[in-house]
Amino acid sequence: MGILPDLYIEETGLSLAPNIIDEGGSVDITVRIHAGPGLLRNRFSVYFLLDDPQAYSNMIGEVRELSIEPDSYIDINMTWDETIGHAGQRTIYAVADFLDRAEEIDEDNNAAQAELTINPVYTNLRLVEGSLTFSNDHPEEG
């Protein structure tokens, strides 16, 4: 049997640009996935998750059917733009081979995390002629 492959993400292998946004804004996410020696026989996916790296229900994106050559790396990019309702300090996780389809020597080095600040956007409410409308003109907190 040859050398078992290993997918891994270094601790600093996940980056966010920018890492501070307003609700409704978008963030570009990049993760660098490495492969050690040994041929990876199955394709794998990368899942991007919000705040909990093991909760499939917190998935904010995925890239499927990836392959990688031994002793190399690939950069995977995605944009997350569904940030409304997620204000606060958030943690973005990238997990390679989330479903454990690839047989590899170490399953515990497949994830990395990065911090994201999402600032709330406040909307002023204005009552006009008996109807309620939303206005983004000069919003004030409160």
- The identity of residue 14, as a single letter, is L
Task: Name the residue with tokens 């956007």.
Answer: 121
Note the pLDDT of residue 1.
Answer: 54
pLDDT at 125 over 60: no
Note the pLDDT of residue 54.
Answer: 87
Q: Considering the chain, what percentage of its residues have pLDDT values greater than 90? A: 67
Closest CA to 97 of 89, 107, 87, 112: 107
How far is it, in rounded angstroms, from Cα 46 to Cα 82?
A: 18
Task: Name the residue with tokens 């733009």.
Answer: 81
Tens of pLDDT, residues 21-76: 999 999 999 999 999 998 888 889 999 999 998 888 999 999 999 999 999 999 99
Note the pLDDT of residue 82.
Answer: 94
Note the pLDDT of residue 113.
Answer: 97
Counting every residue written for the chain, the total comes to 142
Q: How many CA atoms lie within 13 A of 66 on its CB side?
A: 25
Q: Average of pLDDT values for 98-105?
A: 88
pLDDT at 14 over 70: yes
Please say whether the beta carbons of 36 and 5 come within 8 A: yes
Task: Name the residue with tokens 């399953």.
Answer: 107
Note the pLDDT of residue 75.
Answer: 97
